[in-house]
Chains A and B, each alone.
Chain A
C-alpha cells in the first residue's frame, strides 16, 4: 500500500519520530510508495536524512505559515499531497501536531483514526493497532477498515532504521488556499534538554521537592545523564513547575527506557503517565510510599542527599 508520512522539523532538522514513522511505513508499504509531507522548512539536509530513512517522495511548500508551524497549513499541504499521490495509510507522529492533523484529516477524508499507537500492523487492506486508553491504564486493540486509514505513532514505539532511497522532491504551493487561522508569532525556545515525550530518560520531581527553588538538583542530575525533566501533578498544581512538564493522566504520557521519580509517592494518576517505562526508579524518604511497590529499583532516603550524590557518582564509571 502507499503510505503518506508527515515529517516534523525542529531547528532545521527532521525529528527522530519522523524517521521512526518512515521505518514503519517502509515495512507496512511492502513495496508501495512512501511519500513524505514536510511540516516545516525544506533544506538539503532534510532531504538527505529523509531519503536515508526510506522516503521516495518528498513534498514541501515554501509558505510562511508552514515555517511558523501552523497546523492548518500543514493540514492543507497534506491534503494537496494526497491529490498528487494517492495513499491508503497516513502515518503521523503522536505529537500535539500529529494528533491534531489526525483529527483534521479524519473528518476531511471520512477516514478512521487511531492516535498515539504503540503497535501498528497491516492485515490485507486493514490496519490493526494497539493504543493506550485512560492514559495507559488500558490497552485497546482496534481494527481500522477505511478506504484510507490514519494512525499516529507514539515516539520510541518503533526504532528508526536506515533504508537509503533516492527521493524525488516536489514543491507545492498553497497560494489558492484561504487559511482560517494565522500564526502571528512563534517564539522558538532552544531546548537544552530532550523533549519529555521523546526522551530515553526522564528524571521527575514531585511534592517531596518541597518547592520550586529545589528543582536545580533534579536538573543537574538530568543534564548529567542527558535526561528530560518531568514533574508530578502535585508539583505542577502547586505552581512549582510549568504544565508542560507534568507527567500523568492530565499531563504527558512518557515511555522512556529509564524513569527516575524523586519525591513522588506514586498516585494512580502519575502511574498512568509513566507506567510503561522500561525501568522505573524511585527515590523517596517514606518506605511505605506506593511507588516502591511498582518500581524496579528504589532508594529509601532523603532525595536532597541522594540525588546530588547520584549526580556526583554517575560520572565515575566504576562507582
Chain B
C-alpha cells in the first residue's frame, strides 16, 4: 500500500501572535514552528498501518515556502519513507481550496491508496483541505477519525468517530480513501535521535506550484487581520477566609452587574 500524509508547518500553539506591519499576515520573525498537532496523529496512524502491512510506504507532503521543509524533516524523523515539497514561494496557493487542488494533483500523479490529513491546521483553522482533496480526487473521505481499521485484502477501511452531541459513528469506505485525524486517534511518537539522523539523508522531492497545471485563481481575498482585544473587569474576590461570602458575592455580581445569570 502507498500512504501519503498531508502535513503543515504552523506556529507553535503556545506562540504569542502579533501582526506584520501591513496587517495582511502575522509577524513571522520570532515565531517557532511545529507540525500542526492534528497532523502528528495523521503521520502516526500511517506509520502504524505500515507496521501492520508489510510493503507499505509512507510519504509526507506539504506546500509552502522554503522554511516548510522542516516539517517534512520532522515527518521523516518520525519514520516516513520519503517526502514531497510543493514549493510555493509567493503564497500563490495559500487559499485552502488551491492548496487542496495542488495537493490533489500531486497525490493523483503518485497513485496513493490512502491519504491522511489532520482534521484542520491550527493556524488558519480552515477545516477545508482534507475534504476538498477527496472531492477533487473523486475518492471517499472520512473526517475526525478516532480509530482506523484497515482490511488490506478487502481494500476496506473502517473508522470510528465521535460527532456533535457525543454520538459515536462507524463509517466504512473502500480504498482509495482519505481520512482526517482527530485528537485521541493515537499517541504520536517523538522523533528519536537516530530517526532525526536518518531523516537527513531521506529524499525530499521538490515540485513547483506553478508547474502542476492547476488554475491558481483565488476567489478569496484577505482584506486585513486584527488582534481582538477584550476589556475585562478583573474584579477579584478573596475567598480564602470566608468561602460562602465570596460565592454569594460572585453570584450577586453575575446577576446584577454582568446580568449573565437568572
Interface residues of A (CB under 8 A from B): 8, 10, 68-72, 95-97, 99-100, 102-104, 106-108, 110-116, 128, 132-146, 149, 180-189, 191, 195, 197, 201, 225, 242-244, 246, 249-251, 257-258, 267-269, 272, 275-276, 278-281, 285, 287, 292-302, 305-306, 309-310, 312-314, 317, 319
Contacts and interface: CB of A to CB of B under 8 A. Distances in A.
B130 A69 contact: no
Contacts of B247: 299, 306, 309-310, 312-313, 319
A191 B184 contact: no
Contacts of A104: 131-132, 134-135, 141
B90 interface: no
Nearest to B230: A275
Contacts of B177: 180-181
A195 B165 CA distance: 6
A13 B127 CA distance: 26
- Which secondary structure dominates where chain A touches chain B? mixed
Contacts of B129: 103
A181 B164 contact: no
B246 A301 contact: yes
Interface in B110-165: 122-136, 139-144, 158, 162-165
Given A103-B126, A104-B135, A180-B139, 6 more contacts: A104-B141, A133-B123, A188-B167, A250-B38, A305-B239, A314-B251
22 contacts: A96-B144, A97-B164, A103-B126, A107-B101, A107-B133, A108-B135, A132-B228, A137-B17, A137-B227, A138-B228, A140-B124, A143-B220, A145-B221, A181-B171, A188-B167, A189-B166, A189-B168, A243-B184, A258-B260, A281-B254, A299-B250, A310-B247
A99 B127 CA distance: 6
A107 B171 contact: no
Contact of B183 (A103, A246, A300): A246
Contacts of B136: 107
A46 to B, nearest CB: 17
Given A103-B130, A103-B132, A299 B239 contact: yes
A223 to B, nearest CB: 15
A135 B26 CA distance: 14
Nearest to B119: A96
A182 B38 contact: no
B52 interface: no
A184 B172 contact: yes
B248 A300 contact: no
B258 A180 contact: no
The listed residue with most B CB atoms (<10 A of its CB), out of A149, A182, A312, is A182
The listed residue with most A CB atoms (<10 A of its CB), out of B131, B158, B184, is B131
B125 A133 contact: yes
Interface in B63-109: 95-97, 100-101
Nearest to A189: B166
B104 to A, nearest CB: 8
Contacts of A142: 220-223
A193 to B, nearest CB: 9
A106 B171 contact: no
A137 B10 CA distance: 14
A184 B157 CA distance: 12
B30 interface: no
Contacts of A134: 11, 17, 26, 122-125
Given A243-B184, A246-B183, A298-B234, A113 B244 contact: no
Contacts of B226: 138-141
Interface in B208-234: 218-228, 230, 232-234
B170 interface: yes
A185 B169 contact: yes
B48 interface: no
B219 to A, nearest CB: 4
A282 to B, nearest CB: 9
Nearest to B118: A250
A280 B250 CA distance: 12
Contacts of A146: 219
B165 A115 contact: no
The 10 closest A-B pairs by CB, nearest first: A301-B239, A103-B131, A180-B140, A107-B135, A107-B132, A309-B247, A146-B219, A103-B128, A112-B219, A99-B127
Contacts of A189: 165-168
B174 interface: yes
B234 A296 contact: yes
B14 interface: yes
